[in-house]
Structure 1
Amino acid sequence: MSRMEGVQHLQIPLEEIKLATNSFSKENLIARGGFGNVYIGKLNISGEQSTVAVKRLDRKFGQGNREFLMEIQMLSCYKHKNLVCLVGFCDESGEKILVYEYVKYGSLDGYISNKDLSWLQRLKISLGAARGLSYLHNDVGPQHRVLHRDIKSSNILLDDQFEARISDFGLSKIGPSNVEFTFLVTDACGTFGYTDPQYHKTGVLTKESGVFIWHSAI
């Protein structure tokens, strides 16, 4: 079975993405991350012009096919108001591109030190991210849960209502949920400074590792 089976309807032609981003122009560049550059653009979606964020894979940062496929699989299956929304993807002419609903205020890391961000807003953001994490751990299905592995402030996006949206699922793992203690033995992965020390030391990944990482992020 093809790993892309069931998501063909999300494919967006490369030419449309180039038109939307003015051929990935510097003027459209809005962010850089571990996957690659992110561009703002306008795409025709269901007959309407919509603002989107276009993430273009740059292999020099170490990510590739696995992260690309995982992001598509996660966000085509799981929907929640505190998860980023995938619009589509492009896998054409050597390009691997992910297209998301544009999130107005970008990532949380740009606001943590901002004194204008009230404590009420900070609480709202924290609760929103926690709800998204709870959904991944407890509500995606009766037999499994999603362990994100890279929760950090730069992977929490803020929409126009300052609602938190968890993003960047390329490093995620699927674990069982129908057991008393969920754990996976994997090579330690994530961002240095946020990783659960026990996970980093033992390679044993639990849902509690994600909670630890989220507390570190805020």
Structure 2
Amino acid sequence: MSQIQEVAYLQIPLQTIKLATNDFSQQNFIGQGGFGRVYKGELPHPNSEVVAVKRLDRIHGQGQTEFIKEIVTLASYKHDNIVSIIGFCDEDGEKVLVYKYEVNGSLDNHLANPDLTWEQRLRICIDAARGLKYLHDDVGVGHRLIHRDIKSGNILLDEDWKAKISDFGLCKVGPRNEQFSFLVTLAAGTYGYIDPQYMQTGVLTKESDVYSYGIVLFEVLCGRLAMIASYSDHRTFLHHLVKRHLSDRKLHEICFANLNGHIVGIFRVTFRK
């Protein structure tokens, strides 16, 4: 049985998806991802449910392999801190992924949110860490999943601000009992988050994900994205900025202004480690 046949029960007719999103109308548009546009929709009865519908770009979207990989991965592995897939559509040239709708969107849109408290930020980081641990250590006896694109834009937040890791099109499965979980010749991921060692050597380990997660931690602490292209100096990349301020013992100077006074010193020291 092919992989796509294994998940055939998740197929949703294109007509149903068009009905749910008002034919992918601009009014239903909620975001632009790396591989396509995302729409909010409501599946019709009897499965009435609010969903997020990712319509993959026909030219720059995921390939068939990545498309099927994401479906199979999310159908196979369930965790409170992993996004839930509702279904998919591969019809008339359209490739569509349907997820449970997470009310508060992605973490990257809340990094500079003054109403997001330090306690909430910590809980979000812990949730994401739990999801990552599940992928690395708990998905099976002899293997692990390496996400390869951990970033704030791929961490979704539900109505209670619980974090859920999303976007599994680039993930790799590797053995848990070897020094290197997977070996690839070309690094993949998002610039600003990719582990430099992985980029240089092509050797992928779970630590590659951990590095990317560390960048997310500093995004949360500093209230800004890992890369801001409008800067033309050392501020462009957050990891450069953090290294500079850590070496000068001035990390507090780049913490999100709304958090200063709320972060207990020991937490800041632990966070940077």
Q: Give distance in 2, aligned partners of 1:60 and 1:8.
A: 25
Query: Greater relative contact order (Cα 8 A, min sep 6): structure 1 or 2?
Result: 1
Deviations 1:85-132 (A, max 9, x none): 000000111111000000001000001111211000000000000000
2:225 counterpart of 1:203: no
Give the aligned residue type for 2:41: G
| Aligned 1:94-173 pairs, distance under 5 A | 94-173=93-172
Q: Contact between 1:41 and 1:52, CA under 8 Å: does it hold in 2?
A: yes
Partner of 1:190: 189
Q: Give distance in 2, aligned partners of 1:51 and 1:170.
A: 23
2:2 counterpart of 1:2: yes
Residue 199 of structure 1 aligns to a residue whose secondary structure is helix
Which one has a larger percent strand, Structure 1 or Structure 2? 1
Query: Cα distance, 1:59 vs. partner?
Result: 3.3
Q: Give distance in 2, aligned partners of 1:69 and 1:24.
A: 22
| Aligned 1:4-19 pairs, distance under 5 A | 4-19=4-19
Q: Contact between 2:55 and 2:97, CA under 8 Å: does it hold in 1?
A: yes
Q: Contact between 2:36 and 2:61, CA under 8 Å: does it hold in 1?
A: no
Give the aligned residue type for 2:34: G
Indicate the percent of aligned positions where both proteins have the same amino acid: 57
Could you tell me which runs of 5 or more consecutive residues in structure 1 were left unpaired when the two chains were aligned: none
Q: Give distance in 2, aligned partners of 1:61 and 1:121.
A: 35
| Aligned 1:50-65 pairs, distance under 5 A | 50-65=49-64
Q: Give distance in 2, aligned partners of 1:87 and 1:202.
A: 37
Give the aligned residue type for 2:107: L
Paired residue total = 216
The more displaced of 181-190 and 23-32 is 181-190
Give the aligned residue type for 2:53: V
Residue 201 of structure 1 aligns to a residue whose secondary structure is helix
Q: Give distance in 2, aligned partners of 1:95 and 1:15.
A: 11
Give the aligned residue type for 1:34: G
TM-score (norm 2): 0.77
Could you tell me which runs of 5 or more consecutive residues in structure 2 were left unpaired when the two chains were aligned: 218-273
Give the structure with higher Rg (CA): 2
Partner of 1:71: 70
TM-score (norm 1): 0.96
Give the aligned residue type for 1:102: Y
Query: Cα distance, 1:34 vs. partner?
Result: 1.0
Deviations 1:112-170 (A, max 9, x none): 11121100000000000000000000000001100000000000000000000000000
